[in-house]
């Protein structure tokens, strides 16, 4: 069993797959804290978790002309330490709502394939500069390879455009700390990539190699997965080369309390949730409806700092509202707006796609009101 050496996990996690391990925190724990505690941070593994020795660990950096650098953990600690709060979301978050409409291929994530941490590490731009890389090529990519691999020896891999990697304002990290601790094994010990504002799939864990290439990564997960398609495309007609790889994610929000099917007290209801947008776009508003979207109220957003163009982390929100007299049930809905005034689509059907990615329709929760 290649998974026999996987780490022990927190019992509160909702497991979507045991081997490889994929799990999400239950909604009520997800928004209990702005910073997700490491043990309940969602986990998305494609392969067994490698067991790496921090003493012998080396990160290989390969430049555009093949020149290479081998960095130990101590070498990485010599770069200026950069610390930022970043929300990581899997492209498959909320996939289960898509598969309710029509079958999709993928893990049945509910609303918890998203979490937030303080990440610390070296900036990728500093490390690439040290490797002798000056930003010149415009059509280049930075490819990442993990040290996890399948039985044929193929490693997990992904890439981002070089322009993002070299932009100090994009704050791409080679992270060695998560919430003040060394990275837990499930989250990439000893080093992972953190690409703020970008889909989780590019945040390569157990990082073994970074290379500057003229093309995107040839990895399955860059080229044959994590892309969006029209609802009309099926597995017979799909042409993965025709769509760009997902990088920045669209605006997203979900209700974490109350839960679907719950009974709420009459009088007053408290609705809680999260909202986030990709590319550093800040969430400026969350609208909540108690009547399926006929009328709306504006939720209260947390006061966490949102830097312009660098709003990498989610906002938690809540709404306390009277339950309209005589109501026996509530159809609670939320939708977020980001600072480009991007909004979420009202239903799943027009954004349904065969892989069930980019699922960001209005989130809906149905509850009964206690008599
Ligand atoms: N990196 C490696 N090496 N192997 C993986 O399976 N999964 C990716 C990404 N990085 C993955 C990886 C995907 S799809 C996601 S959503 C995030 O890691 C999940 O990060 P987390 O498990 O720390 O939440
Ligand atoms: Mo993912």
Evaluate whether ipTM surpasses 0.90.
yes
Task: Please give the class, per CATH, of domain 14-242.
Answer: alpha beta
Condensed to tens digits (0 to 9), the pLDDT of residues 234-261 reads: 999 999 999 999 999 999 999 999 999 9
pLDDT at 131: 87
Q: Which atom of ligand 1 is nearest to 193's Cα?
A: 10
pLDDT at 292: 98
Verify whether ligand 1 is closer than 6 Å to residue 146 (CB atom).
Answer: yes
Token couple for 35: 């910073």
Token couple for 230: 């029209």
Fold match between 14-242 and 252-369?
Answer: no
* Span from the CA of 328 to the centroid of ligand 1 (angstroms): 42
pLDDT at 137: 62
Classify domain 252-369 by CATH architecture: Sandwich (2.60)
pLDDT at 165: 96
pLDDT at 65: 77
Mutate to test the pocket of ligand 1, among 47, 154, 200 (most ligand atoms within 8 A of CB): 200
pLDDT at 133: 77
* Span from the CA of 13 to the centroid of ligand 1 (angstroms): 16
Verify whether ligand 1 is closer than 6 Å to residue 156 (CB atom).
Answer: yes
Give Cα separations from 326 to 118, 180, 270, 289, 371 (angstroms). Answer: 45, 50, 18, 17, 9
pLDDT at 315: 98
Tell me if 145 sits within 8 A of 209, measured CB to CB: yes
Condensed to tens digits (0 to 9), the pLDDT of residues 8-27 reads: 999 999 999 999 999 999 99
pLDDT at 132: 80
Please list the residues that pair with 188 across neighbouring strands. none
pLDDT at 136: 62
Verify whether ligand 1 is closer than 6 Å to residue 205 (CB atom).
Answer: yes
Condensed to tens digits (0 to 9), the pLDDT of residues 209-232 reads: 999 999 999 999 999 999 999 999
Verify whether ligand 1 is closer than 6 Å to residue 24 (CB atom).
Answer: no
Ligand nearest to the CA of 185: 1
Q: Which atom of ligand 1 is nearest to 148's Cα?
A: 3
Verify whether ligand 1 is closer than 6 Å to residue 82 (CB atom).
Answer: no
C-alpha to C-alpha distance for 317 and 255, rounded to whole angstroms: 9
Q: Where are the beta strands (DSSP E) in 181-304?
A: 181-182, 192-194, 207-213, 252-257, 263-264, 268-276, 283-289, 297-298, 300-301
Positions of the chain with pLDDT under 50: none
**Where are the chain's structural domains?**
14-242, 252-369
pLDDT at 138: 66
| Nearest protein Cα to ligand 1, atom 8 | 201
Mutate to test the pocket of ligand 1, among 30, 42, 46, 355 (most ligand atoms within 8 A of CB): 46
Sign of the CA dihedral 315, 280, 305, 128? positive
* Span from the CA of 283 to the centroid of ligand 2 (angstroms): 22
Residue carrying the six token digits 């003229």? 214
Tell me if 45 sits within 8 A of 24, measured CB to CB: no
Verify whether ligand 1 is closer than 6 Å to residue 44 (CB atom).
Answer: yes
């Amino acid at each position: 069993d290649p998974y026999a050496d996987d780490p022990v996990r927190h019992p509160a996690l909702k497991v979507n797959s045991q081997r490889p391990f994929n799990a999400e925190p239950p909604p009520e724990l997800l928004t209990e804290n702005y910073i997700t505690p490491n043990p309940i941070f969602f986990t998305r593994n494609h392969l067994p978790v490698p067991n790496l020795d921090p003493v012998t660990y080396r990160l290989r950096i390969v430049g555009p002309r093949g020149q290479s650098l081998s960095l130990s953990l101590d070498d990485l600690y010599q770069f200026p330490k950069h610390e930022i709060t970043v929300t990581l979301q899997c492209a498959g978050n909320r996939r289960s709502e898509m598969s309710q409409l029509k079958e999709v291929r993928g893990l049945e994530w509910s609303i918890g394939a998203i979490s937030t941490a303080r990440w610390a590490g070296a900036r990728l731009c500093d490390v690439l500069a040290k490797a002798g890389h000056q930003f010149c090529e415009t059509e280049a990519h930075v490819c990442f390879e993990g040290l996890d691999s399948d039985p044929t020896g193929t490693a997990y891999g992904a890439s981002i455009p070089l322009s993002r990697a070299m932009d100090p304002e994009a704050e791409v990290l080679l992270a060695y700390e998560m919430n003040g601790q060394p990275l837990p094994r499930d989250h990439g010990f000893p080093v992972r990539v953190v690409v703020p504002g970008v889909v989780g799939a590019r945040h390569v864990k157990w990082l073994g190699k970074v290379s500057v290439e003229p093309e995107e990564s040839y990895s399955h997960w860059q080229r044959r997965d994590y892309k969006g398609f029209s609802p009309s495309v099926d597995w017979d007609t799909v042409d993965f080369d025709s769509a760009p790889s997902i990088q920045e994610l669209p605006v997203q929000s979900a209700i974490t309390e109350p839960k679907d099917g719950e009974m709420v007290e009459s009088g007053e209801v408290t609705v809680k949730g999260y909202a986030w947008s990709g590319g550093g776009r800040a969430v400026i508003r969350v609208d909540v409806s108690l009547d399926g979207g006929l009328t709306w109220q504006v939720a209260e957003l947390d006061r966490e700092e949102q830097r312009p163009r660098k709003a990498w982390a989610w906002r938690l929100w809540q709404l306390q509202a009277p339950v309209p007299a005589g109501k026996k049930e509530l159809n609670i809905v939320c939708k977020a707006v980001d600072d480009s005034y991007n909004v979420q689509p009202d239903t799943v059907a027009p954004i349904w796609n065969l892989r069930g990615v980019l699922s960001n329709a209005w989130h809906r929760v149905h509850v009964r009101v206690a008599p």
